[in-house]
Amino acid sequence: DAFYASVEVRRHPELRGRPLIVGGGACGVVLSATYEARAAGVRSAMPMRRARRLCPQAVVVPPRFADYAEVSAGVMAVFRSVTPLVEPLSLDEAFLDVSGAGRRLGRPAWIGEWLRARIADEQGITCSVGVAPTKFLAKLASSAAKPDGLLVVPAGGVAAFLHPLPVEALWGVGERTAEQLRRLGLRTVGDLAAQPPAALRRALGEAAGSHLHELAHGRDPRRVTPDEPDKSVGAEETFDTDVDDHEVVHRELLRLAERTAARLRAAGQAGRTVSIKVRFADFST
H or E element that contains 35: helix 35-38
Among residues 8, 14, 70, 93, the one annotated as catalytic is: 93
Q: CA-CA distance, 32 to 2, in Å (whole number)? A: 6
- What gap in Å lies between CA 185 and CA 214, rounded to an integer? 19
| Dist. CA 70–CA 92, nearest whole Å | 11
Q: Which of 71, 95, 69, 91 is nearest to 82 (CA)?
A: 95
Calpha distance 5→23 (Å, rounded): 10
Residue type present at position 110 = W
Residue 172 burial by Cβ neighbours in a 10 Å radius (0-12, 13-18, 19+): exposed
For residue 113, indicate whether it is catalytic. no
Q: Give the C-alpha separation, 72 to 66, whole Å.
A: 10
SS3 150: strand
Residue whose C-alpha is closest to residue 30's, from 4, 9, 7, 1: 4
CB-count exposure of residue 202 (10 Å: 0-12, 13-18, 19+): exposed
Active-site positions?
Answer: 93
